[in-house]
Amino acid sequence: MKEININEIKGIRIGHAQSLEGGTGCTVILCEKGAWAGVDVRGGGPATRETDLLRSENMVQQIHGLMLSGGSSYGLEACSGAMSYLENKGVGFDVGVGVVPIVCGASLFDLVVGDSKCRPDKDMGYAACIASEDNNPQQGNVGAGTGATVGKYLGSERMMKSGLGIYAVQAGEIQCGAVVAVNALGDVVNIDTGVKMAGILSEDKNKIADTEELMLAEIASSRNVFSGNTTIGCIITNAHLTKPQANKLASVSHNGYARAIRPVHTSADGDSIFVMATGEVEAAPDSLGALATHVMAKAINCAVWNAKTAYGLKSASDFSVD
């Protein structure tokens, strides 16, 4: 197994657009030839688009794009920009009188960072598609990770800056990568060392505390936890998958969330994972699941490590963590 750049997966393009002043953005993943797709939504507060379409029993087998965005539910408008971009290129499901591009989406809550009135819209979504033509995606405070934060159990005063992460590998002929915007209620740990990388700050904000310890200390209490969370991501692979297999892979890939985020899948998170598969090579489903879990966990670590201090929020770079 070797690390690769995610843009080595043929047929897939990734682009970002963001407002650094507004503290939000979006990330698009395009597959103009169509990708077999699946999804698994685990969190209790998701903002998603076209996830029902991906149920195994439903008609459409492939999608042409996925939009990950900030802006809470408002940010789902960015999907319309991707639809317009693809329609202009004649890409989509042929309905006789034209094409309907199949674009799924998920949004995270970042309205407390930057300008709450600045949200990804149709124009920003279109701009992300234009940026995908360079297919040179960055990490950190970009795209859907622009306003991402972690460690919010006690509110926004003690949270830290997170971002968008990307990680990909190749094992034999199989290529598998992950793109994820990490905006979790919980803390993020280094999956290789177990060291906490980012999360809820101590009261004096000089060190990273422990969200799970704080939660357990008041387990008998009912706290109105800060609801601005949700980690959203996508597994991208060149493997051949049926639609049911893609849905199962999305489910298994949540193990990557569990390895890197503590706690995860809370009622205040809308954690979702999509899968996009180009169908180039055959793969053993369980082995691919193990690989997808690994790249997703590593991508979460990359999101935190590449995040920069911004909006008055500390990042992992402010602490001596690996």
Residue 145 lies in a domain: yes
Residue 241 lies in a domain: yes
Across the chain, mean pLDDT equals 94
Residue 234 lies in a domain: yes
Token pair 């402010």: residue: 318
Residue 321 lies in a domain: no
User: What whole-number percentage of the chain has pLDDT above 70?
Assistant: 98
**Do residues 62 and 278 touch, judged by C-beta distance below 8 A?**
no
Q: Which residues, at least 6 apart from 171, have a Cβ–Cβ distance to it below 8 Å?
A: 1, 291
Q: Average of pLDDT values for 58-73?
A: 94
Domain range spanning residue 14?
2-311
Task: Encode pLDDT of 111-128 as tens digits.
Answer: 999 999 999 999 999 999
Task: Encode pLDDT of 239-253 as tens digits.
Answer: 999 999 999 999 999
- Residue 197 banded pLDDT, cuts 50, 70, 90: very high
Q: What is the pTM of this model?
A: 0.95
Of 167, 32, 131, 144, which is closest to residue 87 (Cα–Cα)? Answer: 32
- Residue 38 banded pLDDT, cuts 50, 70, 90: very high
Residue 94 lies in a domain: yes
Distances (CA, A) of 287 to 156, 253, 282: 39, 12, 11
Q: Average of pLDDT values for 72-99?
A: 95
- Residue 172 banded pLDDT, cuts 50, 70, 90: very high
Tokens at residue 178, please?
Answer: 């992950």
Domain count, the chain: 1
Residue 166 lies in a domain: yes
DSSP notation for 56-119? TTSS--EEEEEEEESSGGGGGGHHHHHHHHHHHTT-SEE-SSSEE--EEEEE---TTSS-TT--
CA separation for the pair 219, 265 (Å, rounded): 17
CATH of the domain at 9: 3.60.70.12
CA separation for the pair 80, 181 (Å, rounded): 20
Residue 318 lies in a domain: no
Residue 316 lies in a domain: no
